[in-house]
Amino acid sequence: MNILQVNASARRDGQSTHLANSIVERLRARHPEARLTRRDLAVQPHPLLDEAALGALFTPAEQRTPEQAARVALDDALIAEIQAADLVVLGVPMYNFGVSVQFKSWIDAISRARVTFQYTENGPEGLLRGKTVYVALAAGGMHKDSDRDSIVPFLKTILGFLGMSDVRFIHAEGLAMGEAAVQQAFARAEQDIEAALA
């Protein structure tokens, strides 16, 4: 069994990372044989999807320049990690009602036509099937189940589009509302982790 942990905070010691670490610890206790791959996007940010990257991706492999081949290889590495994973843990902070640019770059990298999804006569088909995804969401305010929460719908859409339909969300909210609120948020999150792993 393979576990992939992706920490998407802009900080190396972000609160979403702490929550993701807690999920991974529980998973490894249940699956001691599991191999863990950890990708920290604060330590090793993935390059943005820009014009040069698009040019590389849309150039046939045999025609790419060395620079283009190197750029595509960066995305290939992330795709290989998610393809190999059985369990995926995403540490996702909310920044200004959206995901971090680091996380969006990761999503852009793993979303590749004819590799992780394809279009068929019956519509799009995700190719990253058979995975369970745990999403550790951290937010300074309280947004769960409100119209301010754009992250859960976005992640359900994109992960489902890629074939990952078993997505379990663990929230730690109110993290900018004082130390007592932080302690309460993580205590609730620990309970939610147990429920998500059940």
Task: Give, in order, the Cα–Cα distances in Å from 184 to each of 50, 145, 175.
Answer: 41, 18, 9
Which two tokens mark 59? 């150039």
Domains and CATH numbers, the chain: 2-197 (3.40.50.360)
Q: Is 195 exposed, middle or buried (0-12, 13-18, 19+ CB in 10 A)?
A: exposed
H helices within 40-114, ranges in order? 51-57, 66-84, 101-110
pTM, full prediction: 0.94
Alpha carbon distance 176, 197 (integer Å): 27
The tens place of each residue's pLDDT in the chain, 198 residues long, gives 999 999 999 999 999 999 999 999 999 999 999 999 999 999 999 999 999 999 999 999 999 999 999 999 999 999 999 999 999 999 999 999 999 999 999 999 999 999 999 999 999 999 999 999 999 999 988 888 888 999 999 999 999 999 999 999 999 988 888 888 889 888 898 898 988 888
Determine the pLDDT at residue 197.
87
| CA 160 – CA 107 distance, rounded (Å) | 12
Cα 107 to Cα 161: distance, rounded to the nearest angstrom = 12
Assign 153 to helix, strand or coil. Answer: helix
For 171, the token pair is 């929230």
- Is 104 within 8 Å of 116 (Cβ atoms)? no
